[in-house]
Structure 1
Amino acid sequence: MARTAEKVRDLVAEDPEMRDAVTALLDHEGETIEWRDVNESLTSGQWGRLIEKGVLEEAGDGFQLADPDAVREGLTGDDEAAYEGGSDVELPDDEESSWTTYDKAAGVIALVMMSGYYYHPIRRTVGPAIDILLGPLNGLLPFFVVVMVLAVCTGFWTSIIQANLMDFDKMSVYQERMQDIQERQKAARERGDEEALDRIQKEQMEAMGDQLGMFKMQFRPMVWIMLLTIPVFLWMYWKLGRIDRGVELVLPLVGHTHLKDTIGGFMPAWIVWYFLCSMGFSQIVRKGLGIQTTPT
């Protein structure tokens, strides 16, 4: 309701004649109307703006007011107060986005293992430990097939973690608030209200802190994803040091290549193969399980 009222205020601020146009539409509350039914009260441009803003919505063969009570509130409310009051979007409790002790522990472990890419003792420790689990699989299958299997498993793990730890509803709230600020800023700029612009700009600076909340929500599942993928990568890195260069495969746009070869002069072929498999199977998993990956 608050969003519709805000939209009506914005429209009236942009075009004062819009107040009479919207008032005329309220006379047809609950009715399905077309522009020809009200063309004496509002122009086609005003009609189009009301549809564009969502104040009018489709209903059968015509249109009707999406929320008459909110429209009425938008007309009767004080336009200046609407901009002084700040955003109507209620932000989620930041405490709910805080990391638990387990999240922090997972992050520390992931960072320690990440150093194994450069610190050989960690790689030489993690590699043989993971080999206890993956060694038998590598004994049954060619290494490039093992890489594909691991890509599928880590892709599945990533999808499940994101589905359970990423709160897309909260992310939508953060994005909605930023959009709300931008819309009010645009309306204030169009009507030349410098005081409102100053207030909105201050609110915009304060809202930059919301980005930290979004970052915390996005990075929390990342540490759990890394907790599995980093040991897998360290094992593959360690194992490749013990595999002959003769392991060959065919990559799209590249053709025949060896796992230890580099593509483009810098990217190892086995990493390219891993990411191709991971991205492809991850999409299949997400589609199959109906896992949401973006804010609504």
Structure 2
Amino acid sequence: MARVAQKVRDLTSEDPGMRHALEVVLDRSRSNGGSVEWGDVDDELSSGQWGRLIEKGILKSGDGDGFRVRDPDGVEQVLDGDDGSSTGPSTSASTDDDEDTGWTTYDKLAGLAALGLFAGYQVGPVRDLVGGTLDTVLGPLQEMLPFYAVILLLAMVTGLYSTLLQANLMDTDKMGEYQSRMQEIQDRYKDAKERGDDDAVDRINEERMEAMGDQMGMMKMQFRPMVWIMLITIPVFLWLYWEVLTQTAELGSVTMPLIGQTAWPDGAFVFPAWILWYFVCSMGFTQILRKALDINTSPSPS
């Protein structure tokens, strides 16, 4: 990625010995199929040099106990003095940066479409268009089942694809790596403050500023599946809303705990009854699904 190239330049300018350290790490990692451990390089590197490569994010956690070099081709170009810094980042760096934090064009289009669909909650023609279109598919379902069963079924379907999208579009290992790095920097900053090492405090503050870019990348990664979830869920909600507004008499009422008999559009604990019933069904089914499929959407410690 472009940031890795800049970090390599910073390291080699601060400590010329880091150039040799990087060359050794690159050579040993390629000899080992892309992975390198401390035991592979301890004959050439000091523990401080190894730690600096990890702190700067040039080495990232790989499979098992080993590490992998981020953008090895880009690192080699910087070391060879042919990194294209005057004309922009290299192709491999740009691609790696997109993989780390960026959204694809399709992600951005999905986000714009989801924002446009939000207008349906306030703009009648949009709501009628989306609701009427989906009614051609969901209308027969509504005729066969009571409205509470329709909401339950839709909540199960939306919970299923929401869980699968989060599992496939979120890299929990990378997010865990971001969090671990921030915690490690915070611990070192605290230790430096306690021992009164002002030089170390200044140096670690610079690392914290660099790490802010990684935090932004983690936020983008967390939000990426949400745009696809909203793109599919908002039309479902619009159809339910349209159905409640246009078919209130036909939908009847429902008996809810602590509330009793209530019509679907009426308030139930602040929310309309149909929204409250949807959330209860969706949250319950989603938790069961994650347990059953052993899907974890929380950052995994690196």
Instruction: With the length of structure 1 as denominator, give the TM-score of the two structures.
Output: 0.69
Question: Cα 1:84–1:192, aligned 2, differ >3 Å: closer, same or farther?
Answer: farther
Q: How far apart, in 2, do the equivalents of 1:85 and 1:199 lie?
A: 15
Report what 2:97 is aligned to.
94
- Count of residue pairs the alignment pairs up: 224
Report if aligned partners of 1:84, 1:196 keep a CA contact under 8 Å in 2: no
Alpha-carbon distance, 1:254 to partner:
3.4
Report what 2:110 is aligned to.
106
SS at match of 1:241: helix
Q: 1:156 aligned to 154, 160, 171, which one?
A: 160
Report if aligned partners of 1:86, 1:200 keep a CA contact under 8 Å in 2: no
Report what 1:145 is aligned to.
149
Report what 2:82 is aligned to.
none
SS at match of 1:156: helix
Alpha-carbon distance, 1:279 to partner:
0.3
Q: Does 1:261 align with 2:261?
A: no
Aligned-pair identity (%): 51
Q: How far apart, in 2, do the equivalents of 1:176 and 1:229 lie?
A: 33
Question: Cα 1:83–1:172, aligned 2, differ >3 Å: closer, same or farther?
Answer: closer
Q: Deviations over 1:34-75 (max 9, x none)?
A: xxxxxxxxxxxxxxxxxxxxxxxxxxxxxxxxx9969x99xx
Q: Which residue identity is paired with 1:221?
A: P
Question: Cα 1:160–1:196, aligned 2, differ >3 Å: closer, same or farther?
Answer: same
Q: 1:250 aligned to 251, 255, 265, which one?
A: 255
Report if aligned partners of 2:56, 2:207 keep a CA contact under 8 Å in 1: no
Instruction: With the length of structure 2 as denominator, give the TM-score of the two structures.
Output: 0.67
Return 97-106 or 147-156, whichever deviates more: 97-106
Q: Does 1:204 align with 2:208?
A: yes
SS at match of 2:285: helix
Q: How far apart, in 2, do the equivalents of 1:244 and 1:117 lie?
A: 17
Q: Does 1:185 align with 2:189?
A: yes
Return 272-281 or 102-111, whichever deviates more: 102-111
Question: Cα 1:250–1:208, aligned 2, differ >3 Å: closer, same or farther?
Answer: farther
Q: Does 1:229 align with 2:233?
A: yes
The runs of at least 4 aligned residues of structure 1 exceeding 3 Å deviation read 67-70, 81-86, 88-93, 250-256
Question: Cα 1:77–1:242, aligned 2, differ >3 Å: closer, same or farther?
Answer: closer
Report if aligned partners of 2:248, 2:264 keep a CA contact under 8 Å in 1: no
SS at match of 2:254: strand
| Aligned alpha-carbon RMSD (Å) | 2.6
Q: Which residue identity is paired with 1:87?
A: E
Alpha-carbon distance, 1:86 to partner:
7.9
Report if aligned partners of 2:156, 2:281 keep a CA contact under 8 Å in 1: yes
Q: 2:296 aligned to 287, 292, 295, which one?
A: 292
Q: How far apart, in 1, do the equivalents of 2:255 and 2:201 lie?
A: 58
SS at match of 1:294: coil
Report if aligned partners of 2:110, 2:231 keep a CA contact under 8 Å in 1: yes
Alpha-carbon distance, 1:252 to partner:
4.0
SS at match of 1:292: coil
Higher Rg: 1
Report if aligned partners of 2:38, 2:50 keep a CA contact under 8 Å in 1: no
Q: How far apart, in 2, do the equivalents of 1:163 and 1:84 lie?
A: 32
SS at match of 2:255: strand
Question: Cα 1:262–1:202, aligned 2, differ >3 Å: closer, same or farther?
Answer: same
